[in-house]
Amino acid sequence: MKATGVIRRIDDLGRVVIPKEIRKNLRIKEGDNLEIFVQNEEVILKKYSMMNKINDLAQELTDAIYTFMKHSIFITDTDNVIAASGPLKKEYLGKSISDFITDSIKRRDRMIQNHFKELSLTIDTNLTCSYVMSTILASGEAIGMILIISEDEKLGESEMQMASIVSSFMTKYLEQ
């Protein structure tokens, strides 16, 4: 565990303020859920993601779709690429998503970019590609994104349908 040197007092309602710099570094925003753990004498706060409980399923889905479509496919939560298949897997799996993808999730985007355009998938990376994206919803909240990317072919309606099917499946799975 890394010490920050920050000390905060708990107020009369049991609240504690997490410093702005820590929230910024961990990408914790107003309205985000935090999971609370107790270990020995320590209270541990962790940013909560519904998607964490389905990482294995997400990876199996991307692998299955890649064998059929032969385009890179990514599944994200609101912070990271949690599953990936295809030639770009090693470069992007586990990386923090870009502000563009975060904003697309918040807007609940579902779109086809069938012309080659620069895409910022993760922080500090840009990729010229054609792509489709479909937001994953659970309990009415936007919690992630499905992206199918091609660096050499224009993507179209069949890839958009696949992304929509996967996001719908994940929505139904998470709401069970």
User: Which DSSP symbol is given to 139?
Assistant: T
CB within 8 A of 78, min separation 6: which ones?
49, 97, 102, 105, 142, 143, 144
Give residue 19's pLDDT: 87
Report which of 112, 113, 128, 130 is spatially closest to residue 71, judged by C-alpha positions.
130
Q: What is the pLDDT of residues 38-74, one digit of tens each?
A: 888 888 888 777 677 788 889 999 999 999 999 999 9
Helix (H) or strand (E) holding 117: strand 110-119
Q: What is the pLDDT of residues 19-40, one digit of tens each?
A: 888 888 877 888 777 888 888 8
Q: Which residue would you say has higher pLDDT here, 23 or 128?
A: 128
Q: What is the pLDDT of residues 132-159, one digit of tens each?
A: 999 999 888 899 999 999 999 999 999 9
Structure tokens at 57: 């399923």
Q: Which amino acid is at 105?
A: I
d(CA 42, CA 22): 18
